[in-house]
Amino acid sequence: MRRKENLLILFLLAVLFLIFFSPSLGWKFRAFLAPGASPNGDYKNTVLENDSLKTELAKLRSLKPAAPRQENLLPASVYSNYPFNFKNELLVNIGGENGVKIGQPVFIYSASSGYKILVGKVEEVLRNNSLVETIFDSRFQMSARVGESGVNSLLKGGNTPFLSLMPKDSKVAEGDAVYSASRDFPFGLTIGKVKNLRLSSDGFFMEADLDTTYNVNDLITVFIDTAYEPKK
């Protein structure tokens, strides 16, 4: 009996050691249990192209052209993601030493075509790692515009992110592009498309789900715009 207890204590200490000094073994084991991630970072080019072109069109028709902004998209490997419900965080392999700052936007990006989609923002920066809060996190919230008429809406994160507070008479249709219009992000970043457009339960507004066409749990590479200076 005493020997069994000693073995258990030894096991406990060994696992505690791994938790603090080699947590990546646990991340790798979890990744091994759930294979199926996209094999490369050049995420489904056609998906990016479709969604990004819709945003470009909407921006061209509804807005004056904005001055081009300098970007510095750093690729970051996704190490692990939040394992419980309601939050959606990714741990990536670049951090403060690489110039990452809290609030910088995070994308899926195709280097060959230049198209990109906003996935979330940097939430916490460590020396060599950063935590990204994705748009699938229930705490995530940002202003967004919809379609060619640039209808204002509030994007609320969650398992299925949704758009709310669109005026009832606004010209919005299924499949319209959704893009950023928040002071926390560069203007006009593609986020997704409108899906399941409906009247809100109180009948005063339109609301819709956000169609993202990618699975955030499949991502193995994202890009952080380290040139962006987040607003204080």
Partner 1 sequence: MKTNKLIIFFLILLIALFLQVNWRVAAGWSPEFVVGVLIVSAFYLNLLEVAALSVASAFFLGWRPVPNFEILLLIFLPLFIAYFKKYFPWRNDVNVLISLLFSISVFYSLTNFGALVSDFRIFSFIAAATAFFVFLMFHALNRLYETHQH
For partner 1, the binding residues (CB under 8 A) are 5, 8-9, 11-12, 15-16, 18-20, 23, 25-27, 29-30, 33-34, 36, 79-87, 89, 91, 126, 129, 131, 136, 138-139, 158-160, 215, 217-218
Q: Which is closer to partner 1, CB of 129 or CB of 180?
A: 129
Residue 128: CB minimum distance to partner 1, A: 8
Beta partners for residue 77, in sequence order: 221
Residue 4: CB minimum distance to partner 1, A: 9
Measured distance CA(80)–CA(22) in Å, rounded: 14
Beta partners for residue 176, in sequence order: none
Q: Which is closer to partner 1, CB of 82 or CB of 205?
A: 82
Residue 62: CB minimum distance to partner 1, A: 31
3-state helix/strand/coil string of 164-223: EEEECCCCCCCCCEEEECCCCCCCCCEEEEEEEEEECCCCCEEEEEEECCCCHHHCCEEE
Query: In the 8-state DSSP scheme, what is residue 196?
Result: E
Cβ distance 51 to 195 under 8 Å? no
Q: Structure tokens of 201?
A: 């339960």
Residue 216: CB minimum distance to partner 1, A: 8
Residue 139: CB minimum distance to partner 1, A: 7
SS3 content of the chain, % helix, strand, coil (to 5): 25, 35, 45
Q: Which is closer to partner 1, CB of 91 or CB of 172?
A: 91
Residue 1: CB minimum distance to partner 1, A: 11
Q: Which is closer to partner 1, CB of 54 or CB of 121?
A: 121
Q: Which is closer to partner 1, CB of 20 or CB of 202?
A: 20
| Backbone angles phi and psi of 30, in degrees to 5 | -65, -40
Q: Which is closer to partner 1, CB of 89 or CB of 148?
A: 89
Cβ distance 132 to 225 under 8 Å? no
Measured distance CA(76)–CA(71) in Å, rounded: 15
Cβ distance 95 to 128 under 8 Å? yes
